[in-house]
Amino acid sequence: MATNPNTTLYINNLNDKVNKEELKSQLFALFMTYGRVIDVVAQKGTKMRGQAFLVFSDLAEATSAMRACEGMLFYDKPLRIHYAKTKSHAALRREDPDFVPPNKAFPQSSSSHVNGTEKRSREDDDMVGGRTAKREKAEDDDEEMEMDEDDEGEGSKKAASATTAQDRPSARLLCTNLPQEVTDDVLGVLFQQYKGFASTQVAPNATGTKTGYAFFDSPELASVAKEALDGFTLKKGWKMGVSYT
DNA sequence: AGCACA
């Protein structure tokens, strides 16, 4: 047998020509149909290319997503999906808010004198003072080397993209340019005042500016909310974009 | 093929 059930799916055989951010958002857009996606992890480095981890909030969702999407063409390549071998940090953090990911720099010293007197102050390990002039040691792999934008290569081969805005009304609205701190609920408060509102989901993991979705019972009802909230200012310089998908 | 999360 393969791996045992996990709320995280391990996906491989991904087309490694698509840049990481697009890949993650497209995976999110695809898999959110099957449940609540709480994290998407993908890396570019040699060892991890062509693979991604998709964390669902519960096992039933992950399982149905796997069944439904196995073999599906995604950027011209069939998805290969399995349960991940281990639990994702996002999942662990979810079942225990006190969960702290093991630090690579200090790998669990086995000779740890674990006495109860150890102080567990929360403020202790804060990164105070920032890392100003300190250069991060260059990774030995090409992790930080994101030389994308080499698309445009062959003819306009529009792959399985889904996040492209449509001009036809749809029951699912795409919300762009969301500030970092916006969550499902914050976005929900905004949309729920309109008739036919169903739910919202904000993409996990985004740094800088986030993306989310708002679901309505019909495209017609969604269009009312879209007209009202497109260009809405969530925060000082942040005008949200709302479009059909 | 390859199972990570800073």
pLDDT surpassing 70 at residue A133: no
Q: Which residue is nearest to nucleotide B3 (CA to C1')?
A: A85
Pairing verdict, β A172-179 and A8-12: unpaired
Q: What percentage of chain A reaches a pLDDT higher than 70?
A: 75
Distance in Å from B2's C1' to A145's CA comes to 19
Beta bridge partners of A81: A11
Distance in Å from B5's C1' to A145's CA comes to 19
Distance in Å from B5's C1' to A138's CA comes to 19
pLDDT surpassing 50 at residue A135: no
Q: How far apart are CA A79 and CA A50, in angstroms?
A: 10
pLDDT classification of A103: cutoffs 50, 70, 90? confident
Q: How far apart are CA A119 and CA A121, in angstroms?
A: 6
Distance in Å from B5's C1' to A43's CA comes to 10
pLDDT classification of A156: cutoffs 50, 70, 90? very low
Q: Which of the nucleotides in strand B have any atom less than 7 Å away from a protein CB atom?
A: 1-6
For residues A222 and A214, the answer to whether their CB atoms sit within 8 Å is yes
Backbone angles phi, psi at A244, to 5 degrees: -80, 155
Distance in Å from B4's C1' to A204's CA comes to 16
One-letter amino acid at A199 equals S
pLDDT classification of A105: cutoffs 50, 70, 90? low
Q: Which nucleotide is nearest to A104 (CA to C1')?
A: B6
Would you state the structure tokens that stand for residue A5, as one six-digit string? 């059930």
3-state secondary structure of A97: coil
Would you state the structure tokens that stand for residue A31, as one six-digit string? 């898999």
Alpha helices by DSSP H, listed for A70-157, are 89-95
Q: Tell me what pLDDT residue A119 has.
A: 40
For residues A5 and A84, the answer to whether their CB atoms sit within 8 Å is no
Q: Tell me what pLDDT residue A106 has.
A: 56
Q: Which residue is nearest to nucleotide B2 (CA to C1')?
A: A47
For residues A7 and A62, the answer to whether their CB atoms sit within 8 Å is yes
Q: Residue A141's Cα: distance from chain center in Å?
A: 23
Q: CA angle, corner A197, sides to A193 and A201, nearest 5?
A: 105
Stated pTM of the model:
0.79
List, for residues A219-234, the tens digit of each pLDDT value: 999 999 999 999 999 9
Q: Domains for chain A: give ranges and CATH numbers.
A: 8-95 (3.30.70.330), 172-244 (3.30.70.330)
